[in-house]
Amino acid sequence: MKFSGWPEPGELVVGRVDEIEDFGVFVDLLEYEDKRGLAHISEVASGWIKNVRDHVNEGQTVVAKVLDVDKDAQQIDLSIKDVNDHQRKDTIQEWKNEQKADNWMTIAFGEDLEDDRYADIAEELIAGFGSMYDGFEQAAIHGTEPLEETDLAEDEVDAIVEAARENVSVPYVNVTGYVDLTCPESDGVDAIKEAMQAAEGNGEVPEEIELDVTYVGAPEYRIEVQAPDYKTAESQLEASADRATAAIEERGGSAEYHRERTTDEE
């Protein structure tokens, strides 16, 4: 997707060097339609520059900071030197992500998707999630639920979710905890089995979560959780231990939750 408007002063933009002169570098802005900027030789690199070509090459992809925009003169002043390595890396990654999202839009709605409809859908995703990429990622993780807060039509939501779940590689994190389960009652074995089933969620764990409870060695059981982010993973891990604790205590037993192992694994 390319924006039809103008960049704002202070904005970081991705461009391709398409012409080098002694006085500076002309940059084609890859995120904007028919927009070209100029980085004066003094804004190409820090210090004295003898030859601009020692610092940039034609066809090179660069990240530049917008210094000034003169719409009447159709002029955009850029600085390449004012962008640090961290900003450059993050901006390039965001640009690559949006290119992926642009491809997913084609997969979801077809190559004949009209520009106006594309723009409307893109604006809803950007308004709701900050970027099209993040919108597709949330759809891949959580399905239709996060998209229900937007003004997207039901068929548009379904198309985005289908495309996302078939094409988006979702980042996951893994966390592990342990719970010691003991029950002195005569039916203690059954009580512990019920506590383990409770820890596993009895089929009510959200579909984006993978939760596994395994026996380590009496009285210790391992709880492993895979989730889209650490906050969710930690929350699900603690909830699993809480369910096991409630179940075993109801049967006259006890539970102790801890993050580190207390027994040697076979």
What are the extents of the domains in the chain? 12-83, 86-167, 173-258
CATH of 12-83, one of 3.30.450.40, 2.40.50.140, 3.40.190.10, 3.40.50.1110: 2.40.50.140
CA-to-CA distance for 58 and 212, rounded, in angstroms?
Answer: 53
Q: For residue range 39-56, what is the model confidence (pLDDT) as tens digits? A: 999 999 998 898 999 999
CA-to-CA distance for 122 and 102, rounded, in angstroms?
Answer: 9
Report the 10 Å Cβ neighbour count for 30: 15
- CA atoms lying within 13 Å on the CB side of residue 195: 34
What sign results for the dihedral spanned by CA atoms 138, 141, 146, 147?
Answer: positive
- SS3 at position 83: coil
Of the candidates 237, 257, 255, the one whose C-alpha atom is nearest the C-alpha of residue 246 is 255
Kindly provide the b/e burial profile for residues 65-89, where b requires at least 16 CB atoms within 10 angstroms of the residue's own CB.
bbbebeeeeeebbbbbbbbeeeebe
- SS3 at position 26: strand
Phi, psi values for residue 74, rounded to 5°: 55, 45
Q: State both tokens at 148.
A: 């229900």
What pLDDT was estimated at residue 1?
61
Looking at residue 28, the DSSP 8-state letter turns out to be E
Q: Which residues of the chain have pLDDT under 70?
A: 1, 261-266
What topology is assigned to 173-258 in CATH? Alpha-Beta Plaits (3.30.70)
What pLDDT was estimated at residue 173?
83
What pLDDT was estimated at residue 205?
82
What pLDDT was estimated at residue 261?
64
Q: State both tokens at 86.
A: 């961290």
Give how far Cα 264 sits from Cα of 118, 225, 260, Å: 57, 21, 11
What pLDDT was estimated at residue 266?
42
Q: State both tokens at 266.
A: 């076979």
Mode of pairing for the β-strands spanning 36-40 and 75-79: parallel
Answer whether CATH 1.10.150 is correct for domain 86-167: yes
CA-to-CA distance for 159 and 164, rounded, in angstroms?
Answer: 8
